[in-house]
Structure 1
């Protein structure tokens, strides 16, 4: 049976669900030291940078009808791409565990059944979502996303129009570091956006809709997190919700948002494994990843994800920079080669550069400079190679 292509609305709903995330709200709490105006500016600048990269990655997959990790083969070769497929599966498994952990802690703060109980409940709901499948989610997404939209409006009311105390944290965070934290979240979706745009009826429009919806909603979640600290003096979302007298509503926000976001992580982990071993069934792999993530969330503490976000940036920013250079500038396709050694070396240099730039306070963050230098290296190496051959 021929796979049905996804509509613009369905893609928009999927990425709305990706943006409404407890992890993004919690990351937003780190922005409070900047104050509201600077914090919002850092969030918007960071999301613009990250979402432009996300759009370009999505276009590559949408136009070529390849999954994210299949598009990586175009720049790094059949075997060379395995490195990124493995790293992507690891980061997606990590995200699955983090999302379940954050959600379980927050929901347990509202209804104290035990965090491990909520881990199991949320894990089971994600498995149901995976089992239904991306092409059968549209009607269910109408209901889920409408509910989430209403519930997050209620959460905004609780935070911004409750009993404000206007407290700003005394901890330090530079503007450049804040921008980088904002870039990091859309950057974390780079290795999987093509898993969805490849299925779209209209790839360009679907990618544009997906990125715009995600960018707006993700920024909104960051601002909610930042506002929670500035206006209530607390970063514990569950406690804010309880004090506002909206426990059940808050619980629904947390659970719904976790399921719709984490589904994407687990689903794409399954798709990525097919790029490593095509005999594996992506749906069953996604379910196994969810089970592993649920167990990890029950065992390990995962309260601070900033280092995890920076690690994702250092791996995938230079990767997508090379893909952008090859696809849009150099018009190169190395999918038939086993390895593209030149690109793998350039990626390693880009990775090292990112880690170095993390110690330099750049007002626009370090992702954009790292990607610009990586793209420049790709173009220069390509030109030199042509000159040598001639």
Structure 2
């Protein structure tokens, strides 16, 4: 039970981030009812249609995320996936540090420069990576619980605003696009979650705890950003934070929400690098520290905190990749050449399918289309299952 508790809080903490809050603000143009529905549906799809099976596969096969792809895509696909994943994880590491540093500077919480704020945040992430596992979970769990209390304080402050905002963003956003934003955030964790369930003796239980932790944490963050715009009219979440009289509380949320999220990105990047270069002497945590420093270097001279295009690229790359992985493990084995070709064509098709504005998002539409095509191919060339 303690392991499940740790895993739940680990993934709840992963979802508590400024990035999730900012993404939630983008859904406000839909209005309260449609926007709320889009957030909930998107999170149900992202968490339980995508993250749960990926987590379960890692636990049942005792393999991390990148190892699961080896029998599906072959050596070239394995390497390509690992490289793409390392790139996205380094990107997220830089984005998260930049978001925190930019917010700290804009709100004048430390009276330090953007670069110094970024260095402080990166240093704390490195500390998280360097501490021992047993102490890590005690510290991380305590911080996550404090973050929940702090976020509830922000919800209370929102409740003090009378009425609803009369002028919301005029940026057009369809219902399907709003759902896609929610799914895309979960998709960014898809290549990571098996890294944390692969050693489980009860993979289904641990996967449910992990997925539920992310689902609830991300849902809370999205609604915090979404309701901020609906209630106050501030499209920039930092504008709302600037109205708070609790500067220390805001500083705590910005810094430690960034740490609990970015730690997972950096550590999993280390896992991927270890798989790519098995002879390397450094541990996954040590490589995670290197990734954190690279992320810091990327954003040292520019504030990378606008990332809608980044989310689209992640969806295009990982939606077809994991649809094919799920098909091969849960339904029928296909030849490596078919899987690899399907992945590449699926990534291209993602952009074409965006034109249809499917009510449940482009990710779901692509998964349905790809699954049907694979079923037809499997009737001709499919095998029964992958040997354990």
Scaled by the length of structure 1, the TM-score of the pair is 0.92
The residue number in structure 2 matching 1:179 is 179
The residue number in structure 2 matching 1:293 is 295
Q: Tell me the CA shift for residue 164 of structure 1.
A: 4.9
- Indicate which of 344, 348, 360 corresponds to 1:348: 344
- Indicate which of 310, 313, 316 corresponds to 1:314: 316
Distance in 2, matches of 1:325 and 1:342, equals: 12
Q: Note if contact 1:7-1:202 (Cα within 8 Å) is conserved in structure 2.
A: no
Instruction: For residue 359 of structure 1, give the secondary structure of its aligned residue in structure 2.
Output: helix
Name whichever of 303-312 and 87-96 sits farther off. Answer: 303-312
The residue number in structure 2 matching 1:125 is 124
Instruction: For residue 173 of structure 2, give the secondary structure of its aligned residue in structure 1.
Output: coil
The aligned length equals 377
- Indicate which of 26, 31, 54 corresponds to 1:30: 26
CA deviations on 1:160-202 (whole Å, 9 max, x unpaired) are 3335552422221111111111110001100010000113342
Distance in 2, matches of 1:225 and 1:386, equals: 46
Distance in 2, matches of 1:135 and 1:53, equals: 29
Distance in 1, matches of 2:382 and 2:28, equals: 51
Q: Tell me the CA shift for residue 233 of structure 1.
A: 1.7
Name whichever of 345-354 and 238-247 sits farther off. Answer: 238-247
Q: Note if contact 1:130-1:283 (Cα within 8 Å) is conserved in structure 2.
A: yes
Name whichever of 260-269 and 27-36 sits farther off. Answer: 27-36
CA deviations on 1:193-242 (whole Å, 9 max, x unpaired) are 00001133422111111111211210111111111112112133333223
Matched, 1:18 2:17: no
The residue number in structure 2 matching 1:76 is 73
Q: Which 4+ stretches in 1 moved above 4 angstroms? A: 133-136
CA 1:75 to 1:287, structure 2 compared with 1: closer, same or farther past 3 Å?
same
The residue number in structure 1 matching 2:327 is 325
Scaled by the length of structure 2, the TM-score of the pair is 0.93
Distance in 2, matches of 1:6 and 1:82, equals: 35
Two-structure CA RMSD over aligned residues (Å): 1.8
Instruction: For residue 298 of structure 1, give the secondary structure of its aligned residue in structure 2.
Output: coil
The residue number in structure 2 matching 1:372 is 368
Q: Note if contact 1:185-1:309 (Cα within 8 Å) is conserved in structure 2.
A: yes
Q: Structure 2: any 5+ residue segments left out of the alignment?
A: 384-388
Q: Note if contact 2:334-2:378 (Cα within 8 Å) is conserved in structure 1.
A: no
Q: Note if contact 2:169-2:235 (Cα within 8 Å) is conserved in structure 1.
A: no
Q: Note if contact 1:160-1:227 (Cα within 8 Å) is conserved in structure 2.
A: no
Q: Note if contact 1:57-1:193 (Cα within 8 Å) is conserved in structure 2.
A: yes
The residue number in structure 1 matching 2:140 is 141
CA 1:215 to 1:152, structure 2 compared with 1: closer, same or farther past 3 Å?
same
Q: Tell me the CA shift for residue 304 of structure 1.
A: 2.0
CA 1:133 to 1:40, structure 2 compared with 1: closer, same or farther past 3 Å?
farther
